Amino acid sequence: MGGHMALSEELTRLLAAALSIRAPDAAHLAEVTGQKLEDVSACLDALRRRGFLDLADGSVTYRRPEVPVSQEVGQDLQSMIRTLQQTTAGLNTTLGTLPQLMQAWEVGGADERTIAADVARGPDAAAEAWLLHFTRDTPTWCDLCLPDVARVLAQRPTERPVADWTSIAMADLRIRLVVSRADTNDKRIRPALERMLEQGAEVRSHPDPPSMFWVSDHAVAGLPATWGEPWPSRVVTVRSAPVAESVAALFATTWHAATPLSREQRSWDPMLALMNQGMTMEAAAARLGMAQRTARRRVADAMAYFGVSSHFALGAAWGRARAEDDRE
């Protein structure tokens, strides 16, 4: 990666001396610092090339040091961003070839199989590969990129599969999920994502997720047969640490480019906040200037949302959800 080298200790000392006395030329600076004139002249020329000063007919004009420093930092950051983008694009391209090459390897010599892999096919391939992974591997954590959450919700709409992922295999499963920004802004999808937040998952919004894929425990990865598909009809599950590490690296770049999703305030939040402080529902409604009928409706909506049947259980469920938000 290109970029600027930091100022050497020698140049930094000389520039600091020059700035402190506003030395008008090389000769004056050489006399004050006790250095040879040719050495000082060479250093001033190097500082000129870096933008810290101007030289005209031997006279020195200084620039505020934060200006060239900021410019260099900005240029280096842009260079880093370009390199990261190229690296991510390279990872995308390389990973995109893997499923096809692995399937070709299997066809050419099934007896020489070296990597454990399964292929799920059909309109439900992604869901089937995911569930098979849980039954065989029981992961402790999983990172997922799902560009099309609507297709997930359509699999088993009565079972709310997205919200239940955190409890399919084990209670302490840790999930990080990247979804598209369009899905986070979709009123039909947002409640399911918020249920995931309430169950302990971390969710981030990405402007353009690269593909559907997932990786668990740095050991197992799920990849679409055709890279870039948001909901593929063929998914390859690979049990290989090197492959999983590569997929994890891609997920990391995708994750860091995404924006954390936080739970939106619900209509019942102000009521429950006061009730959790010990107020009765009636007192909380009065404090908020809310009609008792409205207060009862909002508490009933909250109980239905959290699936509880008492105010005590509601307070506990709501408190857990808020605690998860605070840890984001």
Q: What is the pLDDT of residues 281-303, one digit of tens each?
A: 998 888 888 889 888 988 998 88
Q: What is the mean pLDDT of residues 127-144?
A: 83
Looking at residues 129-155, what average pLDDT do you find?
A: 83
Contact 241, 223 (CB under 8 A): no
- Closest residue by Cα to residue 132 from 118, 147, 148, 115: 118
DSSP 8-state secondary structure symbol assigned to residue 25: B
Alpha carbon distance 215, 248 (integer Å): 6
Q: In this predicted structure, what is the pLDDT of residue 163?
A: 41
The whole-number average pLDDT for the span 258-282 is 80
* Neighbour-count burial of 61, counting CB atoms closer than 10 A to its CB (0-12 exposed, 13-18 middle, 19+ buried): exposed
CATH class of 269-327: mainly alpha
- pTM metric for this prediction: 0.51
Q: In the chain, which residues fall in CATH 3.30.870.10?
A: 117-260
Question: Considering the chain, what percentage of its residues have pLDDT values greater than 90?
Answer: 13
Say if residue 81's pLDDT is above 60.
no
First-to-final CA distance of the chain: 33
Structure tokens belonging to residue 21:
């006395």
Please say whether the beta carbons of 225 and 234 come within 8 A.
Answer: yes
- Mean pLDDT across 12-39: 90
Tell me the average pLDDT across 293-321: 86
**Is the model's pLDDT at 162 over the cut of 50?**
no
pLDDT of 322: 72
Domain with CATH 1.10.10.10 in the chain: 9-63
Name the percent of the chain lying above pLDDT 70.
74
Q: Which of 180, 146, 190 is nearest to 258 (CA)?
A: 180
d(CA 65, CA 9): 15
Average pLDDT, the chain: 78
Q: Could you report the per-residue pLDDT of 207-241, keeping only the tens digit for each? A: 889 889 999 998 898 888 888 889 899 888 888 88
Distance (Å, whole) CA 136 – CA 120: 14
* CATH architecture of structural domain 9-63: Orthogonal Bundle (1.10)
What average pLDDT does this structure show over 143-168?
Answer: 64
* Domain at 117-260, CATH from 3.40.50.970, 3.40.1390.10, 3.30.870.10, 3.90.1200.10: 3.30.870.10
Q: Residue with structure tokens 């709310």?
A: 160
Confidence of residue 41 (pLDDT cuts 50, 70, 90): very high
* Closest by Cα among 267, 272, 220, 273 to 248: 220
Structure-block tokens of residue 6? 């930091």
Q: Distance between CA atoms of 323 and 280, rounded to whole angstroms?
A: 22
- The per-residue pLDDT for 177 is 92
